A and B are shown apart, each in its own frame.
Chain A
């Protein structure tokens, strides 16, 4: 017997009478795939890096098959993350330029934290916090690449002075910590603002979500008579 819910005639006609809610596509399948590839590789790179950062976290090296494997794989994970991030950045960088209203949004951080969105300036595709996450991630990754190449013993020994390698080691750790904290903020923001996780897993948001959190983006989408980025549920 089928487990599909059965409607009686009355219910069926009521359902048919309801308007179909249009959903707005925020991320298409390739954007979602790209994002989650970055996320998976970030987690592996971060855990392997933390294993080498603090003795209390050395046990994390077992996740990648032990200490030597952690040392071998970590730089490649870092490079892979950077490459995947560049593809993602190529798609979203243009939405992340800081606008005058973004600074106003940041000045009203108390309203942001207290969920008083009605008091904030209208937000486009990304809010100022999301833009800062983007810049922080991009900046940290650039610094991680530069310092990572310096301290990659297998290939870089002999090219750099020990003073530079020491500085590179310290800056690599600092950049990684800033990046990890940035990603913690990023992940929490997705949990905090309900509907965000759905946007990055299923790709769509409700019009109400777009209206509430990204009103300028919502208006922009609606202003297009034929909107290629919306589809029926």
Chain B
């Protein structure tokens, strides 16, 4: 644990720097590349995720879609989202996107979390929840630009994809990658994944997908889970993948300058009172006031 902690570069609700002694890992850390153009929607990744992480979601109800379960949950950390889209030519396009934590370089969950060390970011780019420190407030959900974390109804802790940080730490690829039968899921260094994506995009463009591209949104300083999209110009077609995800301005104010400003405001108010007492002093009542009050009281009584 002691050495592992050297790999933590950022820690929630911590105002000083984490250990910085190690060099940033080569290749820009790790990344999962999800090639939506190769995905057949088999859900092997969902099953592998359940199996490796030992999660069993409750049996839900069908909503008339292939999507199952119908949303991410505390026990379902990854989910194939199926979007049926009619393209301008009038043809049906089945756009399947494996949803889950994007492992943002600028994570909104970590920024919003009030509990020290409940959310950490490793040097390799993985954003991980340490549930033993989680207090269940849900601020991570409020801060996330992708609507990923889920609070468990059982224990009120937040859960999401860990990018199999336990497997990656010992040199294995995430469970979902291991299970993918079509090569739609690939794992490696971020630079390698960007290069691999570039080759895929070139191939797609040659096959008529002129808008094919990589989804590695700059608004969150890039992500460690990236998508190859046939329609990179319209990410919202893929079950509302955000066009320009970023930490909301409201969250930035709330978790940014509001914090020091608020503390300063309270301290200033208290100090203003203290120094008023020191400089001006208390407002006291003395015997003259009592005498004046007595006189005022005697006055009307005498006239009665």
Contacts and interface: CB of A to CB of B under 8 A. Distances in A.
Nearest to A182: B269
Contacts of A67: 115, 133, 135
A81 interface: no
Contacts of A157: 138, 141, 151
B289 A208 contact: yes
B142 interface: yes
Contacts, number: 155
Interface string B273-304: 11011001111111111111110110010001
Interface string B248-272: 1011011000111011011001100
Contact of B296 (A54, A113, A151, A211): A211
B148 to A, nearest CB: 11
A66 B135 CA distance: 9
Contacts of A177: 262, 265-266
B114 interface: yes
A181 B269 contact: yes
Nearest to B13: A55
Contact of B142 (A151, A210, A225): A151
Contacts of B294: 207
B141 A194 contact: no
B142 A173 contact: no
B15 interface: yes
A184 interface: yes
Listed from nearest, the 4 A-B pairs whose CB atoms lie closest are A188-B273, A153-B138, A208-B289, A208-B290
Interface of A: 21, 51-58, 61, 66-68, 70-71, 113-115, 117, 151, 153-154, 157, 162-163, 165-167, 169-170, 173-174, 177, 180-181, 184-185, 187-188, 191-195, 206-213, 218-219, 222-223, 225
